[in-house]
Amino acid sequence: MTKTVARGLSLLLCGTMLAAVPSFAQDAQTGGTLRVVTYEPLCLDQNEGSSRNTQTALQDVYDRLVSEDLEGQFHPWIASEWSISDDGLTYAFTIRDGVLFHDGTALDAEAVRVNLQRWVDDKNAGGVPVESVAVDGNVVTVTLKSAYSPLLHDLSEPVLGFVSPASIEAYSKEDRCTGGPDITVGSGPFKVVARTSGQDLILERNDAYAWAPENAVHTGAAHLDRVELRFLTEDAVRVGAVESDQADIATGVPAIAVEDVEANANLTLLRTEQPGIPWSFWVNESKPALADVKVREALRIGVDYPSLIEAVFLGTATPAYSALTPGIPFGYDAALEGSWSFDPAAAAALLDEAGWVIGADGIREKDGERLSIVSLSAVNWNNQQRELFAQGIQAGLQQIGVEFTREVLDFATVDARFKANEYDLVDTSQSAAEPNLLFGAFHSEQTWDTNTNWGFVNDPALDAELEAALATTDRDERITHYVTAQQIIKDNAYLIPIANPQVLIAVNNRVQGVTFGTSGQVGSYYDVWLQQ
């Protein structure tokens, strides 16, 4: 027996309110160019180089099977309906007629199969246990090896947007990653008309667009003529661009600029809590010093993280105690809040117990080795606040005899360092509206480059909870497993959560219809319009 879903499926997610500039479809005006200053995507083919920046930049270029709204409900998009078998192993999607890629080829069931199979073949389906992808007429059937409750969520994410099979066949991986007109070919409301690496990505309205997701505010083509995404690394430069009317939207507003943006009568500051995993240290247990839970615990309580958060983030982040943020739609364990506190004396005692002795220069030593910790991050994961925060961490750890160095490098170098296991900590955050992020970050089989278990965590009890959460479609059961998983991660200091960040966007008041996406990023530009 199966159940058929055609509209508004609510699967395991509870609602959350996110701020947005109001949009009224009846008042929407057509035309104009939206100018956005933001971060550069790693790659214009998400299958080859998926990052949140990539997905955000391309979310209006590539359509997906289903759409997820901010209340956690799923709606028809390229799939007009779908059915799920009672055992959760078979998903059958009916593909709507008449959808065309930007190159004029059909986005039919076979094109969907090609894209999903590429995801399976090249990326091991991101850890999703896919057994097969098959086509029968206009129906695509995904069969799983074992139940995987977040499948619809994953299929709604921009990372699984559909690329023209003609482009996949005609161009190399390198060409698709660089991207550009005739290469970055989707079916979305905007198409790529120019791409200058390191500078910009220019999108133009797809006038033929007639297959918006069911939960969109309007139907037909987008309101805007063009969207110009300019890539500016410096926070101050992005904010300056929107303040001086050289841009309409600035993403990644730093805490230090919030007061100025809110005081500007021409701008609105949008903010929401980032769902997912907080900005944290993944602790590499394969390193002898960090294999000792006493050392990991000392790193967690040896720095006054809350005071640093107050000083650096200026009210735009809160101290983190869990491996999930409060902004995630379900599964966050609020009982962990305040479950440890800054205690440098206790941290020093733990390091003493672990055999690390203060050396002549104040840095601890053991068996001839200095307690020197290197934290690794990528340029595109970094921002000004984290740089400032790292200075405070360095000073705090030095007080308890730990030498701390933070390296921020280009992603290719970081990737190579990960593969060579040349790091002690990884500092970053992860954003998604799904607590299954914990599976990729902590399951023993999900180390780089299959996924993001940078800590080499190998805990059978934790694996069991994460696996059980995937195997059930009952929300309450999933929550129970994720709460237990967070407790195990906390008790063993597998992760050092630092800050629950807010996502901040500055928007010119003439821009209407801006929303946040389900993962906290700026949402689709499809319903956005400009007051002329």
Q: What is the pLDDT of residues 304-354, one digit of tens each?
A: 999 999 999 999 999 999 999 999 988 999 999 999 999 999 999 999 999
Cα angle value 136/189/273 (rounded, 5°): 100
> Mean pLDDT, the chain, as a whole number?
91
pLDDT score of 73 = 84
pLDDT score of 50 = 63
Q: Which of 378, 376, 330, 340 is nearest to 153 (CA)?
A: 330
Residue 21 binned pLDDT confidence (cut-offs 50, 70, 90): very low
DSSP state of 275: P
Task: Find out whether 221 and 27 touch, Cβ atoms under 8 Å.
Answer: no
Residue 49 binned pLDDT confidence (cut-offs 50, 70, 90): low
Task: Find out whether 475 and 324 touch, Cβ atoms under 8 Å.
Answer: no
| Helix boundaries (H) for 171-304 | 173-178, 235-243, 258-263, 293-301
Task: Find out whether 319 and 500 touch, Cβ atoms under 8 Å.
Answer: yes
* pLDDT of 213 above 70: yes
Residue 16 binned pLDDT confidence (cut-offs 50, 70, 90): very low
pLDDT tens digit string along 135-190?
A: 999 999 999 999 898 999 999 998 899 999 999 999 998 999 999 999 999 999 99
Q: How far apart are CA 425 and CA 287, in angstroms?
A: 10
* pLDDT of 240 above 70: yes
* pLDDT of 502 above 80: yes
* pLDDT of 105 above 90: yes
| Beta strands 139-144; 90-95: pairing state | antiparallel
Q: How far apart are CA 406 and CA 454, in angstroms?
A: 16
- Encode burial over 244-273: b for 16+ CB neighbours within 10 A, e otherwise: eeebbbbbbbbbbbbeebeebeebbbbebb
pLDDT score of 19 = 41
State the average pLDDT over residues 478-484: 97
pLDDT score of 530 = 97
Task: Find out whether 42 and 55 touch, Cβ atoms under 8 Å.
Answer: no
State the average pLDDT over residues 91-113: 98
pLDDT score of 477 = 94
Q: How far apart are CA 187 and CA 530, in angstroms?
A: 23
State the average pLDDT over residues 237-266: 96
CA distance from start to end of the chain = 53
pLDDT score of 72 = 74
pLDDT score of 381 = 83
State the average pLDDT over residues 385-404: 94
Residue 427 structure tokens: 């500092």
* pLDDT of 29 above 60: yes
The percent of residues in the chain predicted with pLDDT above 90, rounded, is: 80
Q: How far apart are CA 411 and CA 405, in angstroms?
A: 18
Residue 430 binned pLDDT confidence (cut-offs 50, 70, 90): very high
pLDDT higher for 142 or 50?
142
pLDDT score of 9 = 36
pLDDT score of 25 = 55
Burial of 314 (C-beta count, 10 Å sphere; 0-12/13-18/19+): middle
Any idea which residue has 């000073």 for tokens?
395
Question: Distances in Å between the alpha carbon of 106 and those of 112, 141, 183?
Answer: 10, 19, 16
Instruction: Provide the edge-to-edge strand list for the sheet that holds 90-95.
Output: 2-5, 79-85, 90-95, 139-144, 130-136
Residue 102 structure tokens: 């930007």
Q: How far apart are CA 524 and CA 531, in angstroms?
A: 18
- The number of CA neighbours under 13 Å toward the Cβ of 248 is 23
Residue 1 binned pLDDT confidence (cut-offs 50, 70, 90): very low
- Which 3 state secondary structure label does DSSP give 157? coil
Q: How far apart are CA 341 and CA 336, in angstroms?
A: 12
pLDDT tens digit string along 353-392?
A: 999 999 999 999 999 999 999 999 998 788 778 888 999 9
pLDDT score of 26 = 60
Task: Find out whether 282 and 426 touch, Cβ atoms under 8 Å.
Answer: yes
pTM: 0.82
